[in-house]
Structure formats: C-alpha cells, structure tokens
Amino acid sequence: MTAIDARLRERVHLLGELLGNTIREQYGPGFLDKIEHIRHGAKADRRDAGSEQLPSRLGQLAENELLPVARAFSQFLNLANIAEQYQLIRRREPGQAAPFEDGVLAELLGRLRQAGHSQEHLARQLARLQIELVLTAHPTEVARRTLIQKYDAIAAQLALLDHRDLQPEERQPLHGRLQRLIAEAWHTEEIRRARPTPVDEAKWGFAVIEHSLWQAVPNHLRRVDQALFEATGFRLPLEAAPVRFASWMGGDRDGNPNVTAAVTRQVLLLARWMAADLFLRDVDQLAAELSMQQASEALRAQAGDTPEPYRAVLKALRERLRETRQWAQASLAQAHTPSEAVLQHNRELVEPLQLCFQSLHDCGMGVIANGPLLDTLRRAATFGLFLVRLDIRQESARHTAALSEITEYLGLGRYADWDEEARVAFLLHELNSRRPLLPAYFKPAADTAEVLATCREVAAAPAASLGSYVISMAGAASDVLAVQLLLKEAGLQRPMRVVPLFETLADLDNAGPVIERLLLLPGYRARLHGPQEVMIGYSDSAKDAGTTAAAWAQYRAQESLVRICAAQDVELVLFHGRGGTVGRGGGPAHAAILSQPPGSVAGRFRTTEQGEMIRFKFGLPSIAEQNLNLYLAAVLEATLLPPPMPEPQWRQVMDELAADGVAAYRAVVRENPAFVDYFRQATPEQELGRLPLGSRPAKRRQGGIESLRAIPWIFGWTQTRLMLPAWLGWENALHKAAARGKGDVLRAMREQWPFFRTRIDMLEMVLAKADADIAKLYDARLVTPELQPLGEQLRDLLSQCTAAVLSLTGRARLLAHMPETLEFFNLRNTYLDPLHRLQAELLARARGAEAGQGGAVEQALLVTVAGIAAGLRNTG
C-alpha cells in the first residue's frame, strides 16, 4: 500500500501528464516515448542493482536531444515540488486533522497555561517577541524570477481544482489554464544568460514580500490575535510585530566586489519606493471603501469640514505616499532633497491609519475597522516605510587594511602589524577624541575609499532603514571597535549595532572572552545603546571543522555568551547564520530553535533565510503563514519553556564526539594531499564558479578549500549526492563513542536532549538523500584512476556513518518512521537519476576535447544543476 497521500499522487500525475502533452506537442510522440523509456529504465535500475537500462537508453540519445531530455526531467521535479508544497496547504476533507503548523501556537498557549503562566504574562511575552528573519541572496539560487512566478500561478491553479464537487464544465477551463501555465513554463528558458546583479537579487527579495509576505503577515497576525484571545482574553496590540524582516541583498559585500556603496544606496531607495508603492495600493483601496460619514471628534479635527472624513484623511496620506514614491524614483538617478511631504518616519504613516481605526471603533463600526484597515496597520508595524532593514556586512580584513592605510598616512605605523592591546588603545583614544581622524584632503586607495564610502552611506541613511553592521571573520574586540571608529569618522552620530560574526572553530571558542573584553572596555557600554548582538556562523565553522565539532562549538559559544551578558546585565541577541542545508546549519527551524541552549533565545531571535529556502518557505502566502507560525511558536516556547541543561556526562560525551569528529574531518579535508584535486574532479565545483548563478564570486580569494565559500563547497557535494560536508566526522565520532561503551548514554542523549536529538535527526535526513552509487558514477566518468581509491574510501565512510546512525536510532533503515518522505524520495530518484548521469557526461565533455561545443554543453549542464537542486530541495 502506498505511503503517499492519494490526492498528492493525483496532482503529481496530473502535472506530469500535462507536461508530457507540452513536450509531445513540440517534439512529437516519439521523443516523449524516449523520455518514458528513460524514466522506466531509471525505475528498473533502482529495483534491480544489476540492471543497466538507464545508461543504455541515455546512450541512444542524439546530441540535440540531450538538452530537451535534461529539461524534461528538471521541469518534472519542479512540478513535483509544487505539488508537494501545495500538499501542506491543501483543502482538508471533513474530519481531516489540520496540519501541525496551523495549530502549533494554540497548542503551545494551552501548554503554557497548564505550566502556570498567567494570561497577562503570556499576552505580554507574545507581544514583546522580537523575531527577525534576514533574507539573503543565494549564489546557487538557480530558478529565474519569471519561472518562480509561473510556478506560483500553477500552485494557485491547483487550489482552484481542489474541490471534489466541481462540475465538468467548471473543471475543464481550470485544466486548460493549468495546461497553458505548464506550457509557458516549458517554453521559458529556465537559466538566466547573465549573472544577476546585487540590485537584481534585492528586487527578487522585494518580490517575495510583494507577492507573498504582504498578504501572509496580516493573515498570520489575525490568527495569532485570535489564538491569543481564546487562550488569554487579551488581544495583540496594533503596534506589535513579533516577526519582522531584514535583508542582506545589496548590503552583503563580504567577498563580493559587486556590492558597492552606490549599490547599497540604490537598494535602500528601491526599498523605500516599493514600500510607498505597496502602501499606496492599500490606501487607495481604503479610500474607496471608507465612505462613512460618522466620525470621532479627533478624526473630524484632522479631516476638516467634509462629509467623508475618512476619505479626506486617507487621501492626504495617499498624496504623501505618491510624493514619497516620486522622490525615491527621482533619487535613483540623482540625489534630491526630499520635500516636507515625503514621509520620513513610520509614525507619519501609522498615525492617520490609527486615527481612522479608533474613530470607526468609537462610532460602533468595529467590524469595518477590523477589515483591510487593520491589515494595513499590521503591515505598517511589520514593514514600515523602509520595507526591510538592510544589514551591512564586510570582512574584518577589509577594515584592518583600511585602518593600516590611514595609520601609515598619519605617520603612526602600520595598524595591521600592531598587537591587540595596541590596536584597542589606539581605537579607544580615537573614539573618545572630538577631532576628526582624517584631513579632508586624504586620498585613499580604491579599497579603502570603498570602505569609507560605505560608512558614509550608513551615516546618511535613516536609522530605521538599517539593521546591523556585521563583521565576518571577527576574532577580537578590536574588530568591533574598528568599525565603530570608521562609522564615527564617516559622520554617524546615532547608535548602530556593530555585530561580530564568529565563524571558525577557534573564533567560536573565543567568542565569549571577546564579548566580555568589549563589555568591560571604558565607554563601550555607552556606545552600545541596547542589546549586544552576536552572530554565530554555521557555514564556515562546519567547513572548518565538520558539523560534529561545529555544532558543539556553536552551542558552547552561545552558553558562554548568555552567561557573560547576564553577568554584565546586558541583553543579548544571538543572530544565527543558518543556511538551507544541514552542512550549513540548516534544517527544520522549529526543531532547531527548540534545541538552542537554555536562555539563549529569551524573546529575541535573529536568523538568516537563504535563497531557495526563502522561496520554499515564504514564496506562497499560505506556506509563509505556516512558517511564520512555526517561528513564533518556537521562539515563545524556547523563551518560556526552555530545554533542560545538558547533564555533565552528556557534555563529556559531546566533547569526545567533537574531538573525534574534527580529527576525522580534517584528516580527510585538510591533511590528505589528494583531497582538493579529488573534490575538483569529482564535483562540478569549478564549473559552478563559471555559471551565471549569483552576483557573488564562488571564492573570497585564490587558494584551496579554505578560500572557497561555504555555499559552493556544499553545492558541489550535493550535486553528486555524496553530501560529504554534512556527515563527515560523525562516522568516526559515533563509532569511537560506541567502542568506549557509550551507546546507552548516546541513546539517552537522543531521547532527552533536544540539541543532540535535532543533530541526529538532521544527520539521518541528509544520509537518506545521499547516494553512494550516484557518487560512484561521477568518479567513474570524471576522476583519474589514481584518485578513485579516495572516492571509494569516502563512500565507505558514508556507509559507516549510516550504520552508526541506524545503530543509534534502532531502525532497520533510514527514515523508516517517515514512509511518505521515503516514498517521495523514491519518486524523485526516478527523475534525478537521469539528470545525474547526464550531468556526469556533460562535465566530462566540458572538460575534454569536446569543450569547444561551448554554449550547448554549458546550457544543458546548467539545466542538470537546476534540476538536481530542485529534486533535492537543497542547493547550498
């Protein structure tokens, strides 16, 4: 009996059939038969390990058939994603339980009441939550925005078809529309011809807000308000915005020379334009609807002598929004001084709306006030005039280089050569000085000029438009003071969070002492003006040490920071740099939040949401609502019902696991001289760097693995299904723990400690996606004979890791407790297997004598990259 829901299977079949119709119409029935033969060959090979039908059938393809075959399997995987995603928000039959995501908050509030939390306390805590989701660009986001919009339209069409009682005459046009949308997607080139610019990436982020979050946020807050009222009798305040959004798109210049001060300024203006435009649409609708005459004295005083006071107030706001939009548009080309009509502060947007809202309630028209007007007020609280807060990110070495040029120019020596004490003394002296550091005639080199120009943009931008200034590869107190000094020199006269990002294993271990040193420095607390924010790096710490040691270092760093900030009576905000994949700290957000150390959440939570995960989690309004519910419930639960402290014995075992894990990981990645060559032969890493996927280069600088960005590092291994960064080290750590007789302790840790349970659950999921046979076929086609034994060794380690996890969970096979997920993996493999084989062949051709084919091979290669990424639902 099948594990996949019958309705889901129906949708997948329908979408596949309509795609087949489209392919047949373009290429004829014979070509569609070839695709079916390839699909059946893939299924046969999966059933029978000795079968070789798939390579035989792929080998029969003509040269000009490679691209359309790759496109066919890639498009089916995208359609399967749509069907699977829609499954989460489908109409429920009578008696069917609502999904966990929809009821998670109400269930939690009930548990919190039973745990003794008063109604007032719960209402206050929920209203005070500060969750910020930071949208980041993704160098391996492969789907074009125009295709994403078509996929969204297909999902909407599935919703219209999701009625059992539709008459044939009603169903037929819906099927016709769905067929047209799939044909449009098929006939749209799925791969962009040129790299997106940082501004393009920012526009993509704004589009997610416009087409999904703009609707999802007020819907989500309506449900939160209702759940809170039913549990406590209190309403969510109008100004409450428990979940807000920030962005790195256009602000993240770490290793990306394409993000300049001019780009940051442009993105800030585009955000203001988009916010004004979206609120203008809302206010236009409200002005049309609120035609009532009865109004409060306060509203009449604002509206003047008019029979339609609500319209009068809203039309005045509408004119100011138009003026704001026009100013932002004009300023993109040339700086313009804003007129008095341009909205500058969020209160100028909120106050007229609140005035109308209160008047309607005062006059007995609350049912009208609680309609679209309430939704606009909720959007104003969440997005405001600046839409998202833009973070700035730069690598610490760029600040050190800029200060070195400055100190040498001033005849003080070279800042980079000074020890930490000398740096801190110099920076504190200059921060306390009333005179400028630099004369007006200082002419810096290009890199320093760009750093200073960015600081000037920060100083000039409204405070509400900016988030934090994040320093990647931070390792010392001087890294934070350096940025504060550069911002002061640029004219910044207001507080701004300067946030060290601790990424490597050594830096994570040193995070607590660095923050303690900062908090004890004279004058630092005065410049802080609020919480101390610290960013925890998942990607680079995992690349540096493997996920076993990195996860434990992240946990211990958070514990240390919580303890130090509590001792200094400073609020702490932890900013989690999580990626989409397990190898970069990704995984289910709800479980991940609940597995954080006790005291580390405390009503505040900041995390990155990256690339394709933004699309999967927030691309459709109903899906976005579910994910916002999960975030809000998890942060509230972690705040009020924190997990238990780990037992001393568990800590000891984790110390041992981490030590064994990092030793095994580095023995392969750093100490094996053949590893880098093997990685570059066995994966598409080199080709990915040349493909027009994102605005950011794949490398920070020239060099080996240490210079490679964490995202393409993960991406390459994901494409070949070895998934190495997510598991390497665990096999050694778990094996040695078992050999030391710690099996019972490990099982207790998994049962009773959310941190360890979540790590093992994510490890099991990634091992289920890994496929040693697929990885082996890449080796056979791409890797030189002398390096192939290393591939065999890595696949053996993968097998050992799987055995260790199964021993720990007591299951006969991975994900045996999730049969529907397993069956969907099997379904996807039927379409992934041909793409993997095609990709290996295309890589061989691109690297060999046939590379002169140029565009045709590269285009087909890109399509396989996109298809595999879609099929696995993870890229980097």
pLDDT tens-place string over residues 383-393 = 999 999 999 99
Q: Which residue has the tokens 């119709």?
A: 21
Q: What is the 8-class DSSP label of residue 241? A: -
Q: Which residues of 400-428 are buried (b: 16+ CB within 10 A; e: fewer)?
A: bbbbbbbbeeeeeeebeebeeeebbebbb
Angle at 9 between CA 213 and CA 761, to 5 degrees: 65
Q: Is the pTM of this model over 0.95?
A: no
Q: Please give the residue that has the higher pLDDT: either 582 or 444.
A: 444
Active-site hit among 43, 203, 488, 543: 543
The domains of the chain, with CATH numbers, are 6-194 (no CATH), 261-386 (1.20.1440.90), 396-574 (3.20.20), 648-872 (no CATH)
650 Cβ neighbours under 8 A, 6+ residues apart: 745, 748, 749, 753, 756
| Residues linked to residue 395 through DSSP beta bridges, in sequence order | 472
The pLDDT score that the predictor gives to residue 583 is: 39
Query: What does the alpha-carbon distance between residue 23 and residue 68 come to, in Å, rounded to a whole number?
Result: 9
Q: Check residues 118 and 148 and name the one with the higher pLDDT.
A: 118
Alpha-carbon distances, residue 92 vs 212, 272, 615, 834 (angstroms): 22, 40, 24, 35
Half-sphere exposure of 162 (CA within 13 A, CB side): 19
Alpha carbon distance 668, 665 (integer Å): 6
> 695 falls in which pLDDT band (50, 70, 90)?
low
Has residue 424 got a pLDDT over 60? yes
Which residue of the set 138, 399, 488, 836 is catalytic? 138
As a whole number, mean pLDDT of residues 833-843 equals: 90
Q: Are 425 and 310 in contact (CB under 8 A)?
A: no
Number of helices (H), then strands (E), belonging to the chain: the values are: 40, 8
Return the ∠ at Cα 486 (arms to 484 and 488), rounded to 5°. Answer: 65
User: Is there a catalytic annotation at residue 138?
Assistant: yes
pLDDT band (50, 70, 90) for residue 696 = low
The answer to whether 537 touches 547, Cβ cutoff 8 Å, is: no
What rounded mean pLDDT belongs to the chain? Answer: 90
The three-class DSSP label of residue 866 is: helix
201 or 8, which is more confident? 201
* CA–CA dist 743, 211 (Å, integer): 50
The DSSP symbol for 699 reads B
Taking a C-beta distance cutoff of 8 angstroms, is the pair 121, 109 a contact? no
8-state DSSP, 132: E
**CA 548 from centre of chain:** 22
Q: Round to whole Å and give the CA distance between 627 and 131.
A: 13
Tell me the HSE value of 35 on the side-chain side, using a 13 A CA sphere.
29
Closest among 456, 535, 542 to 491, alpha carbons compared: 456
Distance (Å, whole) CA 778 – CA 773: 9
Q: What is the pLDDT of residues 769-823, one digit of tens each?
A: 999 999 999 999 999 999 999 999 999 999 999 999 999 999 999 999 988 888 8
Q: What is the pLDDT of residue 160?
A: 82
pLDDT of residue 48: 78
Asked if pLDDT for residue 456 goes beyond 50, the answer is: yes
pLDDT score of 7:
79
Contacts of 758 (CB under 8 A, 6+ apart): 587, 591, 592, 594, 595
| 442 backbone φψ class: left, alpha, beta (φ>0; ψ -120 to 50) | beta
Nearest to 836 by CA among 854, 811, 861: 861
* Helix runs in 245-368, H state only: 261-289, 297-303, 309-333, 346-362, 366-368
DSSP string for residues in 459-492 = HHS-GGGEEEEEEET--SHHHHHHHHHHHHHTT-
Residue 452 has pLDDT above 60, yes or no: yes
End-to-end C-alpha distance for the chain, whole angstroms = 35
Closest CA to 483 of 420, 422, 573, 393: 393
d(CA 578, CA 762): 13
pLDDT tens, 300-317? 999 999 999 999 999 999
575: helix, strand or coil? strand
Higher pLDDT, residue 247 or 697: 247
For 616, other C-beta atoms within 10 Å of its C-beta total: 18
Q: What's the 3-state SS for 319-351?
A: HHHHHHHHHHHHHHHCCCCCCCCCCCCHHHHHH
